[in-house]
Amino acid sequence: MVRLLIFTFFSLWAIVSAIGVITFTNPIYVILWLLSALIAIAGIFFTAGAELVGALQLLIYAVAIAVFYVFVLTAVPWEKAVKKSSHYRTEGVLSFPLILLLYLEIAVVFLLGVTASPEGQLRGLIEKFGNTEVVGSILFSKYFFAFEVVSLVLLIGMIGAVLIGRKENQTYEDDTR
């Protein structure tokens, strides 16, 4: 009962924040709504008993990722940020079919996932060993290959970023030496 109340509270909070993200025009407010939505989702994870995922949601999404938006946006000139009209009306309309498609995909994945997931098998493990340990042991045994491939993808992304961000010594005179 208490759990349902808390879950409803966080869900409503997340939905309101998500609406805020798409209705506000000032980019700083949009980021704050996004942050609020991410924190609400972390709350939902905590309510569901998935502390590790909740804490990672806070640490990685709410802090590490959203903070980069803030970092970029604080460099946006003040006049541009408070401008009312949006540049992306046509793009918004054009993206509508894509959004429908993505929703369809989410529905399909959800339905497939419900039938495929081992019902109640993990619960016993989690109660026995705790959240973090179970996630770790599954990640490094059953899903080890997928895990390594994902980290390889991240490594490639990082190398790309370093490559783009490195100094081009040839393109300009280095007077600082």
Partner 1 sequence: MESVALNLAVAFVKILVILGIVLGVGAYLTWVERKVAAHIQRRPGPMVVGWHGLLQPLADGLKLITKEDLFPRYGNRFLYNLAIVLALVPATLVFAVIPFGPEFEVFGYKIKPILTDVNVALLLVFGLGSLAVYAVALAGWASNSKYPLIGSMRKAGIIISYEVAITFAVMGPIILAGTLSTYQIVVNQIEQKLWYVWIQPVAFVVYMFSLLAETGRVPFDIQEAEAELVTGFTVEYGGMKFGIFPLVEWYIEVLSLSAIAVVLFFGGWSPLNIPFLGFVDPLFFLGPLSPFVWFLLKVTALFLFILWLHWTLPRYRIDQITEMAWKIMLPLALANIVFTAVIAPLIWK
Binding site for partner 1 (CB under 8 A): 28, 32, 35, 51-52, 54-56, 58-59, 62-64, 67-68, 70-71, 73-75, 78, 130-132
| Nearest-approach distance from CB 134 to partner 1, in angstroms | 11
Closest to 39 (Cα-Cα) out of 62, 23, 56:
62
CB of 76 to partner 1, least distance (A): 9
Q: Where are the beta strands (DSSP E) in 28-163?
A: none
CA distance 45 to 61: 13
Return the number of the residue (18 or 50) whose C-beta is nearest partner 1. 50
Provide, rounded to whole angstroms, the least separation between the CB of residue 131 and partner 1: 6
**Is-contact 26 49, C-beta < 8 A?**
no
CB nearer to partner 1: pick between 68 and 143: 68
Specify the residue, 68 or 144, whose C-beta has the smaller distance to partner 1: 68
Residue number, 18 or 52, with CB nearest to partner 1 = 52
CA separation for the pair 42, 51 (Å, rounded): 9
Minimum distance, C-beta of residue 52 to partner 1, in the bound complex (Å)? 6
Q: How far is CA 3 from the centre of its chain?
A: 24
DSSP 8-state symbol, 22: H
Return the closest-CA partner of residue 134 out of 118, 149, 119, 123. 123
Residues found in the chain? 177
| Residue 128 CB, nearest approach to partner 1 (Å) | 13
For partner 1, give the closer residue by CB, 1 or 116.
1
